[in-house]
Amino acid sequence: MTVALWCVLIAIFLPYVCTIVAKATGGFRLKDNYDPRDFLDSVDGVARRAHAAQLNSFEVTPAFAAAVIVAHLVGTAQLVTVNVLAVLFITSRLLYIICYLADWAALRSVVWFIGMGLIASFFFVSI
């Protein structure tokens, strides 16, 4: 298994890290688990931003996974490049989450664009 494929697994679990942060900082109690979506919709501050980062992470992960799979399916000769791009994407996602939690909106947007550029890069190196 390549580093890039391991990065897909990491990307799949990153949203749940945000969920844990949202629940931990939002005052989650076991009784809230009966309707966790309602609970997460009612939080504010860091918890709300962590929830938003979670939602964005769920949205972008399929595109990243598809990009990695396409790069592998076409037999991209630059497997090292694909692995590096994957690690850079995971790094960008971690930075994105940090920016979201810290409420650095402008920097968060820059990091988001970098991440989307990295996803597109998988297709360009596969040409």
Cα 31 from Cα 39, distance rounded (Å): 10
Question: pLDDT of 42-99, one tens digit each?
Answer: 999 999 999 999 999 999 999 999 999 999 999 866 778 999 999 999 999 999 999 9
Question: Is residue 30 scored above 80 in pLDDT?
Answer: no
Rounded to 5°, angle at Cα 40 from 114 and 118: 10
What is the structure's pLDDT at 77? Answer: 65
What is the structure's pLDDT at 25? Answer: 93
CATH number of the structural domain spanning residue 24: 1.20.120.550
Gyration radius of the chain over CA positions: 16
Question: Is residue 22 scored above 80 in pLDDT?
Answer: yes
Total number of domains in the chain: 1
- How far is C-alpha 125 from the geometric centre of its chain's CA atoms? 21
Cα 47 from Cα 45, distance rounded (Å): 5
The whole domain housing 32 covers 3-125
Cα 71 from Cα 87, distance rounded (Å): 14
Question: Is residue 33 scored above 90 in pLDDT?
Answer: no
